[in-house]
């Protein structure tokens, strides 16, 4: 791919976001695309959309405790982490299962986490992905800590943290950005501006013209990108990651996207969004623009689409089966899933729970 990322380091960061593929799937002048590479990105987006639909259905069936769909944000999920190198860290939210999976977090553990099973928060040993953060904004501080540690070790590894625009109203955002700026940590802050923090629209979240321009206050570079364009997202994240890896400090990316589904399966977005608005963003679907480009280039057809969807469906259903087949944690063993070496308080609670279990009270 040829072209340069839309980098801003001074002035207003509220212009047109970078795009490489337009809404109709046409390539923007100045860029070239590797068709096989784009097919791989598209395949990953199909897979995570399959997972998202399955998880949404399972929650409505009462098989998951809660679920926050990322339908419509697939380009952000895949494009951002596709720019990372092996060993780089990812600290995401409850809405970032697609990105976590791409980086090695298994579907099975993601499903387990959504049932409230602590084993879902235990990624494989070689997976440098933090468990999904439920606390809004808190994980940004962790990402800065991880990247600072890697800087001190001289490993060349970085950390990327994903969050919604609503999280920028939290104090953790300021603390993480300020620390990263002061200590020049190799951190990439990736804001998925999906327009709503539950029912609160972006315009009442902040008085600034953009989220991206907040980078200037913390002495870092800001980027504004079309979050429904997987190629543009990867291009910008790669530029920010390169800066971090080269010792040039942290960056803040604002990806303009849209949450097409509810905030969670307990939410009703029709109470605060219009059908006209939803139709507008349906036309900007991140998968459809890639599909249009691939079809025009002779790299997509219905049989291949069916093959992708069937393979994704089998993988997701297999993960569901494995997660639901695991013996449930009970009062005698769920303490062991929290810490490797329980502290005295947990040890006492575990002993008390075991006694209640023996007496048939648990």
Whether 259 is catalytic is yes
- Using CA atoms, how far apart are residues 158 and 146, in angstroms rounded to an integer? 8
- Using CA atoms, how far apart are residues 234 and 249, in angstroms rounded to an integer? 19
Active-site entry in 259, 260, 284, 289? 259
Eight-state DSSP code of residue 129: B
User: How many other CB atoms are found less than 10 A from the CB of residue 330?
Assistant: 11
* Sole residue written with tokens 């070689």: 126
Q: No. of H helices and E strands in the chain?
A: 11, 8
For residue 246, give both structure tokens.
């080269």
From residue 324, how far is each of 65, 85, 112, 132, 203 by CA, in Å? 13, 33, 8, 20, 42
User: How many other CB atoms are found less than 10 A from the CB of residue 167?
Assistant: 26
Whether 223 is catalytic is no
Q: Which residues contact 231 (CB under 8 A, 6 or more apart)?
A: 1, 20, 21, 31, 33, 38, 41, 79
Coil, strand or helix at 220: coil
Active-site entry in 95, 114, 139, 263? 263
What is the total residue count of the chain?
A: 362
Active-site entry in 119, 174, 184, 272? 272
**DSSP track, 9-72:** -SS---SPPB-SB-TTSPBPTT----HHHHHHHHHHHHHHHHHHHHHHHHHHTTSSS-----TT
From residue 20, how far is each of 52, 103, 121 by CA, in Å? 26, 24, 36
Work out whether strand 221-226 and strand 7-8 pair parallel, antiparallel, or are unpaired: antiparallel
* Sole residue written with tokens 């600072």: 148
- What residues are annotated to the active site? 259, 263, 272
């Amino acid at each position: 791919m040829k072209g340069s990322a839309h980098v801003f380091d001074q002035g207003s960061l509220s212009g047109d976001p970078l795009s490489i593929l337009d809404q109709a799937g046409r390539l923007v002048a100045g860029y070239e695309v590797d068709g096989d590479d784009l097919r791989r990105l598209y395949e990953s987006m199909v897979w995570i959309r399959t997972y998202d639909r399955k998880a949404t259905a399972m929650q409505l069936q009462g098989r998951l405790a809660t679920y926050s769909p990322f339908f419509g944000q697939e380009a952000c999920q895949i494009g951002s982490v596709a720019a990372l190198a092996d060993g780089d860290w990812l600290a995401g939210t409850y809405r970032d299962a697609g990105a976590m999976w791409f980086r090695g977090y298994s579907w099975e553990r993601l499903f387990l986490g959504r049932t409230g099973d602590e084993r879902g928060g235990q990624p494989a040993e070689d997976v440098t992905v933090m468990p999904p953060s439920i606390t809004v904004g808190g994980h940004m501080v962790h990402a800065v800590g991880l990247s600072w540690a890697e800087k001190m070790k001289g490993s060349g590894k970085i950390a990327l943290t994903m969050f919604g625009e609503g999280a920028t109203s939290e104090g953790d955002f300021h603390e993480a950005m300020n620390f990263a700026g002061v200590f020049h940590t190799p951190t990439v802050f990736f804001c998925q501006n999906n327009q709503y923090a539950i029912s609160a629209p972006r315009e009442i979240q902040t008085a600034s013209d953009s989220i991206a321009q907040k980078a200037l206050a913390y002495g870092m570079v800001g980027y504004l990108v079309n979050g429904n364009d997987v190629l543009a997202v990867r291009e910008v994240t790669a530029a920010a990651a390169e800066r971090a890896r080269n010792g040039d400090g942290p960056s803040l990316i604002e990806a303009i996207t849209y949450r097409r589904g509810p905030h969670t399966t307990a939410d009703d977005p029709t109470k605060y969004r219009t059908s006209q608005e939803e139709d507008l963003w349906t036309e900007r679907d991140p998968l459809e623009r890639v599909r249009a480009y691939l079809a025009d280039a002779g790299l997509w057809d219905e049989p291949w689409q069916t093959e992708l969807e069937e393979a994704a469906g089998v993988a997701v259903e297999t993960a569901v089966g494995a997660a639901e087949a695991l013996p449930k944690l009970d009062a005698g063993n769920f303490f062991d899933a929290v810490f490797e070496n329980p502290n005295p308080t947990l040890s006492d609670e575990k002993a008390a729970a075991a006694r209640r279990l023996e007496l048939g009270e648990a």
